[in-house]
Amino acid sequence: MLYSALLRPLLFKLLSPEQAHDLVMGGLQFASNSALASAALRAAFGSIPSAPVQAMGLEFKHPLGLAAGMDKNAEALRAWESLGFSHLEIGTVTPRPQPGNPQPRMFRLPEDEALINRMGFNNGGAEAAATRIHSSKHQSIIVGGNIGRNKSTPNEGAIQDYLAALNALYAEVDYIAVNVSSPNTPGLRDLQSAGSMRELLLAVCTEAKRLGGKPVALKIDPDSDKDHVQRTAVLAVECGVQGIIATNTSIGRSSLSTPEGRLQAIGAGGLSGAPIAKRSTEVVGWVRDAVGQSASVVGVGGVRRAQDVTDKLNAGADLVQVYSGFVYAGPAMVRQLSPAWKQ
C-alpha cells in the first residue's frame, strides 16, 4: 500500500525516528481537531469488524488497542478512534512535566522491524494530559492512563508520584495502568521487588477504589523469569489489580539481525517490535496460568500481523496492543490485523 511503498521509506530516509514521530503526531493531532479530517480517516481506515470483549470490567469493541508511548500527551484521541483502535493508553505520564532523556533517544532497527528507545517518560504532566482528554470530544474509544514517577523522585517517594498522577487523570480515563517496568528511568524496575510492589499497588488500588473504583492494571517487563512473573501477577491480583499488561520493552539484544556494531553505537534502551514477539507471548501464557480468570491479560510486544494477534489471544490475552508495529505497518494496521478477530 501507499504507506509501505512510499511514505515509510521517505520518513525513514529523511527524518530521525523522533522527528518522524513528531510529524505523524502533528498530523494526527490536526485530524483529531477537525471533524472533516477525522471523518476522512474513518472512511479510509476505520471500517473494523466488531468483536466485543469484556476486560477489566469494561467493554471493548474488539481486542486491538494502541500501547502507551505513542501518544504520550493525549493529543490525538479522535484520530486513533477514527483509525479503528478499540482503546489506547496515553503516557507514560508523570505528575510533573519532564523533558525525558537527552536526544538521540529513539532508534530504528529496520532489519528486525524493531525500535530501541530510551525516551525517559518525556511528557507534559498528568494535569495537562487530563485537560486534553476532557476537551478531545472522543466518543467511544476507551482511554487508559499509564502512570509513572518523575525521574527526580527517588523510589522512596514513588508512591506519592503515582497517587498524584492517578488523581490528576482519574476523572478523564477509563482505567489506570501502573508502569514500574520501563528500563529507561533509573531505578524504576527496583519497584518490582515484592515488598515495594505490594506497597505501591495497595496504595494505588485503595486510592482508585476511594475515587470510584475504576480498574487498575499493572505493566510488567519481558526480562524476568517465569517464577518472578507469576509471583508478581498473583501479588498484583491480591492487591486489587484487575489487569496485567504483558509486556513492556526488553533490555535484551539476542537473535537480532542488526549488526552488533550498530547495537553498540545505539547503547542502552528498551527493545520493542518483532524480536520480542515470542517472549511477550510466552509471558502472556505465564500470567494467564498464574491468575486464571481472576484478572484480564493484555498482550503487548511484537504485534505486526494478524497471526501475532491470534498467538497472543490463544496464549490467554483478552486484549492486544501495538506500538512499534504501527511504525512499520502504518495507518491501515487495525484493518490489516482484523482477520484475527473477524467472525
DSSP string, 255-275: T--S-HHHHHHH-S-EEEEGG
Q: Residue written as cell 498467538?
A: 311
Domain count for the chain, please give it.
1
- Kindly state the average pLDDT of the residues 271-298: 98
The yes-or-no answer on residue 224 being catalytic is no
- Residue 320's pLDDT is 98
Q: Please report, rounded to a whole number, the percentage of residues in the chain having pLDDT higher than 90.
A: 97
Alpha helix positions (H), the chain: 2, 8-14, 17-32, 35-45, 77-82, 126-135, 158-169, 194-211, 226-239, 260-266, 277-291, 306-315, 324-329, 333-337
- Residue 225's pLDDT is 97
Host domain of residue 167: 2-340
- Residue 343's pLDDT is 58
Q: Is the pLDDT of residue 137 over 90?
A: no
pLDDT averaged over the chain?
Answer: 97
Q: Is the pLDDT of residue 139 over 90?
A: no
- Residue 128's pLDDT is 98
Is 247 in contact with 281 (CB distance < 8 Å)? no
Q: How many CB atoms lie within 10 A of CB 324?
A: 30
- Give me the catalytic one of 136, 182, 250, 324: 182
- Kindly state the average pLDDT of the residues 293-301: 98
Cα–Cα distances in angstroms (integers) from residue 83 to residues 40, 64, 66, 79, 142, in the given order: 10, 11, 11, 6, 14
Q: Is the pLDDT of residue 1 over 80?
A: no
Return the CATH number at 207: 3.20.20.70
What letter would DSSP give residue 179? E
Element (H, E) at 145: strand 142-147
Q: Please report, rounded to a whole number, the percentage of residues in the chain having pLDDT higher than 70.
A: 100
Handedness of CA 245, 249, 254, 257 (dihedral sign): positive
- Kindly state the average pLDDT of the residues 150-162: 97
- Kindly state the average pLDDT of the residues 251-267: 97
- Residue 230's pLDDT is 98
Angle at 141 between CA 292 and CA 250, to 5 degrees: 55
Span 312-329, pLDDT tens digits: 999 999 999 999 999 999
